[in-house]
Amino acid sequence: MSRPVFPLCLGFLLLIARTGADSQWQTVGALASWSQKENEIILEAPPAELRVSFAGPGVARVRLSTTGHFQPDSSWAVIHRSPDQKIRVRDGEKFLSVISGELTLEINKSPLRIAFFDSAHHLLNRDDSLRGISWCGEETCNWKVMPAGEHYYGFGEKSTALDKRGIAMSMWNSDIPAYSASTDPLYEDIPFFYGVTGTYSYGIFFDNTYYASFNMGKEDPDVYSFGATGGELNYYFISGPQPADILAKYSQLTGTMPMPPEWALGYQQCRWSYYPEKRVREIASLFRTKRIPCDAIYLDIHYMDGYRCFTWDSSRFPDPGRMIGDLANEGFKTIVIIDPGIKIDSSYWVFRSGMKENAFLRYPDGRLFTGQVWPGDCHFPDFTDAKARTWWGSLFSGLTRDGIRGFWNDMNEPSVFNGPGKTINPEVIHNDRGLFTDHRKNHNIYGMQMVRATREGVLALRPGERPFVLTRANYAGGQRYSAAWTGDNSSTWTDLQMALPMCLNLSISGQPFVGTDIGGFIGMPSGELYARWLELGVFTPLMRSHAEINSPNKEPWEYGKDFEGINRRTIELRYKLLPYIYSSFREASVTGIPMMRPLVFDYPADPRTYHRGDEFLFGKGILVAPVLQPGAARRDVFLPEGGWYDYWSDSLYSGPRSVTIDAPLDRIPFFIRAGSVIPSRRAEQYTSEKPLDTLFLTVYPRHDTAEGANYEDDGISFKYQTGEYAWRKILVTRVGSSLRCILNAQAGTYRPPSRYLCLVIKGRKAEPSSVVADGRRLREITGPPPAGTGEWWSYDQTKNELTVTLRDEFRRQEISVTGR
Ligand code: MIG
């Protein structure tokens, strides 16, 4: 066999890959024998040994060893396997079939190659017959057949186009400021992807933390490959049939995002850096006097004493507790940055205690690793060591006592200014749960274990409150610990365009809580670019503006009065939609299905969705088509199957079709899926400013039916986990000549303060003859509705809209609208 051109041995990686220059790629040969040990099938093809098992229904696992022994089974990502899956084996002449539930592995015996089939025996995926599973020294690679109609999504944080067909990518968390649409790898790597066609889809999670490569047909248009420079070839094959089924199974394996505090869904303001205290207070008060809603303000690295983590610069911030308390009284939550590098300084308590705890990384010979970051020469905690994580967690006690509510972990790729490849030396040893392995294996999980230590520490210090942690670097499963942002982008339209495929692929890679630096980090956006970016921010789970140290002020009021008004209304839109957004977060935290999804995720049967990286779905009922071009006042939108109401005009379109719609500067085009009920509220200056006096439920019927839900809890504690939550589920149907709306109060013991429900029913062509709620005939109001209170209905003929207001009784309520 000819030696394949291998994508892995690149540049400085020669330094970290231990492959000898003279080694040859070898591929797995013929199956010599097989055996079954409990629910695992062992395949011998000396010197290779493969193990096949099932981690859950529709989730097969394949492992390779070429050394005669397997590495200890210790994943940082996988937290749940159900190995009790029943396996059947059929031994044929040419094939060995391993069957479990809906998945069949057909193993070709000579040479040993694996193919996956669904329960109807449709081929889902198979090894390339020539190269199949190969290895070369410590490197491994799996080559798979790439059918013409298959498209690829996921892969974590990637700035390239939405569909990764024809693209090569690597996984190695990297600090790359001012990245472009071809920069790879970036900060956060998740080696999990989907293969999607019009008839089936599957997922592959390559759980390997070494420098990994994915070549999706760039080298050979009929073959794709994935592999790593070390560690085991160890992957999970996940059956669909739909992308959502794959993500649900992946979420079973790696866990879901915990519910964040509600305030973290509000607007957040950041820059490098707000200081001194006077400037922080000034920014906060500008938000309030200008009536621009905001929930959080960030302190970047200048709050610290010489960039020493867990300290304050006492001249810039003489009384942090007081400042944070005053800000809190105005509804601001204060978030601080914390980097991993700890300054080598014997007068610095964190350094001393880290030394005492033996918490820092060392070379194999015991010397401490030293690298330069902001504070100068630093040591770096070993977050793979449970003891060091506990130590790290305890360091937050001062900050939590001061009242800091959120923690922003940066530079955790890790980024080291003077390290080889701008990171930690590859020889450095990590505890790795007692396995004592080198940095090559631990690099990609460094950020993940850092945010784990942060989250667990803050949680231990403040057990009653959901932590908010934001990270730049992460790995598969890191959604359990932290939200993520996409690092140092620039203030350009290209960067705004990149924001979509980045956030969408990250979201469906299991990380739903994502966002970009609104306005761009580096440079200065025009008023138009900032306004458009902020509009997109309404529909990114994390809505945060940020600015680089050398860039001018970029707050929402910095672009003139007209833009200030536009930006205020944009942020207000976010706050109005918070009930819908919060409910969508809750769904994601249970199922793993993210708020932001590419169209192909929900409509894989329609090839027109495969490359749609300029619009997306948000929650169950919204399609967003942000304006991404300068000077545009209209844009083309592809609407997939179903009915779609233009949010701004209420025009109803029936998909699949393309439409061109108006998109004036102050409006982000978005559509409501016909058949949805969207919960919303009046805007506030910050979350929980006032108790909710009216919950709006806007009904967008599809043939007189609709359904939707509103989820609530106290927004901050863990009591929802023991039942203190409230779901209001709304079901609208036609019964004879009446429209019936049933409001179900399902499970949960949480009771919001007393309030009104305001049902707004769209698409009503005529005034009803009566509206009856729980047997009471409601009175009709004509003219402007009375302020706030009372039970009544009114009909607006110009808008084809019926409004019904009634008291929320937190039990099953029924509204009947008679007459067309
Ligand atoms: O080397 O803390 O991506 O958001 O403002 C730059 C300063 C370090 C990089 C982060 C950015 C942050 C900045 N940090």
**Sheet strand arrangement including 801-807:** 776-777, 770-773, 813-818, 738-746, 726-735, 706-712, 676-680, 694-700, 756-761, 801-807, 792-796, 779-780
Q: What is the 3-state secondary structure (H, E, C) of 602-666?
A: HCCCCHHHCCCCCCEEECCCEEECCCCCCCCCEEEEEEEEEEEEECCCCCEEEEEEEEEEECCCC
Ligand 1 closest atom vs CA 374: 1
Q: By CB neighbour count within 10 A (0-12 exposed, 13-18 middle, 19+ buried), where does 647 fall?
A: buried
The alpha carbon of 257 and the centre of ligand 1 are apart by a number of angstroms equal to 24
Residue labelled with tokens 């013991």: 749
Q: What percent of the chain has pLDDT over 70?
A: 97
The confidence score (pLDDT) of residue 14 equals 38
pLDDT surpassing 80 at residue 629: yes
- Ligand 1 centre to CA of 489 (Å) is 11
Contact 283, 297 (CB under 8 A): yes
76-131 pLDDT per residue, tens:
999 998 877 889 999 999 999 999 999 999 999 999 999 999 999 999 999 999 99
Which residues, listed in sequence order, are joined to residue 30 by a DSSP beta bridge?
none
Which one has a higher pLDDT value, 15 or 330? 330
Evaluate the omega torsion of the peptide bond into residue 273 and state whether it is cis, within 30 degrees of 0.
Answer: yes
* Nearest atom within ligand 1 for CA of residue 548: 5
Mutate to test the pocket of ligand 1, among 188, 378, 410, 521 (most ligand atoms within 8 A of CB): 410
Place of tokens 């009284």: 329
CB atoms inside a 10 Å sphere around CB 247: 28
Which residue has a Cα nearest atom 6 of ligand 1?
Answer: 411
| Half-sphere exposure for 790 (CA within 13 Å, toward CB) | 12
Contacts of 284 (CB under 8 A, 6+ apart): 294, 297, 327, 330, 332
Pocket test for ligand 1, best of 271, 272, 302, 471 (most atoms within 8 A of CB): 272
The rounded Å distance from CA 369 to ligand 1 centre is 22
SS3 at position 53 = strand
DSSP state letters, 214-259: EEEEEEETTEEEEEESSS-EEEEEEE-SSHHHHHHHHHHHH--PPP
Point out the least confidently predicted range of 74-78, 82-86, 152-156, 527-531: 82-86
Q: What is the mean pLDDT of residues 659-685?
A: 98
**Which pLDDT value is given to residue 745?**
84
- Tokens 């088509």: give the residue: 625
Q: What is the spatial order of strands in the sheet that 376-379 belongs to?
A: 342-343, 376-379, 371-373
Q: Is the CB of 413 under 6 A from ligand 1?
A: no
Index of the ligand 1 atom closest to the CA of residue 301: 2
User: Which residue puts its alpha carbon closest to atom 5 of ligand 1?
Assistant: 272
List active site positions.
Answer: 410, 413, 488
Give pLDDT, residue 4: 39
Tell me the pLDDT tens digit for each residue of 637-666. Answer: 999 999 999 999 999 999 999 999 999 999
Direct distance between the N- and C-terminal alpha carbons of the chain, in angstroms, rounded to an integer? 74
Minimum mean pLDDT among 231-240, 302-311, 746-755: which range? Answer: 746-755
Is the per-residue pLDDT at 348 higher than 60? Answer: yes
* CA 353/CA 312 separation, integer angstroms: 18
**For ligand 1, atom 12, which residue shows the shortest CA distance?**
272
**Beta-sheet pairing, 40-45 with 151-156:** unpaired
Q: Which atom of ligand 1 is nearest to the CA of 300?
A: 2
Tell me the per-residue pLDDT of 759-795, one tens digit each, with 9 for 90 and over.
999 999 999 999 999 999 999 998 777 776 789 999 9
Shortest CA distance to 470 belongs to which of 675, 265, 668, 206?
265
What is the arithmetic mean of pLDDT over 627-646?
98
Residues 402/321, Cβ–Cβ less than 8 Å: yes
What is the SS3 string spanning 57-117? CCEEEEEEECCCCCCCCCCCCCCCCCCCCCCEEEECCCEEEEEECCEEEEEECCCCEEEEE
Q: How far is the CA of 629 from the centre of ligand 1 (A)?
A: 27
**CA 261 to ligand 1 centroid distance, Å:** 24
Is the CB of residue 410 below 6 angstroms from any atom belonging to ligand 1? Answer: yes
**How far, in Å, is the centroid of ligand 1 from the Cα of 274?**
13
- Inform me whether the pLDDT recorded for 747 exceeds 80: no
The ligand 1 atom at the shortest distance from the C-alpha of residue 272 is: 5
303 lines ligand 1 (CB under 6 A): no
pLDDT in tens, 215-267: 999 999 999 999 999 999 999 999 999 999 999 999 999 999 999 999 999 99
Question: Ligand 1, closest atom to CA 273?
Answer: 5
Query: Does the Cβ of 300 fall within 6 Å of ligand 1?
Result: yes
Confidence at 589, pLDDT banded by 50, 70, 90: very high
Tokens, residue 159: 């700035």
Closest ligand 1 atom to 339 CA: 2
Least confident of 157-161, 162-166, 778-782: 778-782
Nearest CA to 482 among 492, 495, 471, 472?
Answer: 471
pLDDT at residue 2 in the model: 37
Predicted pLDDT at 820: 59
339 lines ligand 1 (CB under 6 A): no
Q: How far is the CA of 410 from the centre of ligand 1 (A)?
A: 7
Q: What is the mean pLDDT of residues 563-589?
A: 98
Ligand 1: does its nearest atom lie under 6 Å from the Cβ of 563?
A: no
Query: Which of 67-71, 195-199, 209-213 is predicted least confidently?
Result: 67-71
Q: What per-residue confidence (pLDDT) applies to 788?
A: 61
CB of 621 closer than 6 angstroms to any ligand 1 atom? no
Q: Which of 300, 339, 418, 548 to mutate to test the pocket of ligand 1 (most atoms within 8 A of CB)?
A: 300
**What pLDDT is stored for residue 74 in this prediction?**
85
Please check whether residue 718 is in contact with residue 693, taking contact to mean a CB–CB distance below 8 angstroms: no
pLDDT at position 786 is 74
| Spatial CB neighbours of 561, under 8 Å, sequence gap ≥ 6 | none
pLDDT of residue 452: 98
Compute the average pLDDT of residues 434-460.
98
- CB of 564 within 6 A of ligand 1: the answer is no
Work out the angle at residue 678's Cα, subtended by the Cα atoms of residues 672 and 679, and round it to the nearest 5 degrees: 155
**Residue nearest ligand 1's atom 8 by CA:** 411
| Tokens describing residue 608 | 């027109």
520 lines ligand 1 (CB under 6 A): no
Q: What pTM was estimated for this model as a whole? A: 0.96
Residue linked to tokens 């960039």: 307
pLDDT in tens, 712-740: 999 999 999 999 999 999 999 999 989 99
At residue 438, the 3 state secondary structure works out as strand
Reported as a pLDDT band with limits 50, 70 and 90, residue 7 is very low
CB proximity list for 358: less than 8 A, separation 6 or greater? none
Distance CA 204, CA 209 (A): 15
Ligand 1, atom 13, lies closest to the CA of 272
Nearest atom in ligand 1 to the alpha carbon of residue 337 is 2
Give the model's pLDDT for residue 85: 84
Ligand 1 and 572: CB distance under 6 A: no
Question: Averaged over 424-449, what is the pLDDT?
Answer: 98
Confidence at residue 601, expressed as pLDDT on a 0 to 100 scale? 98
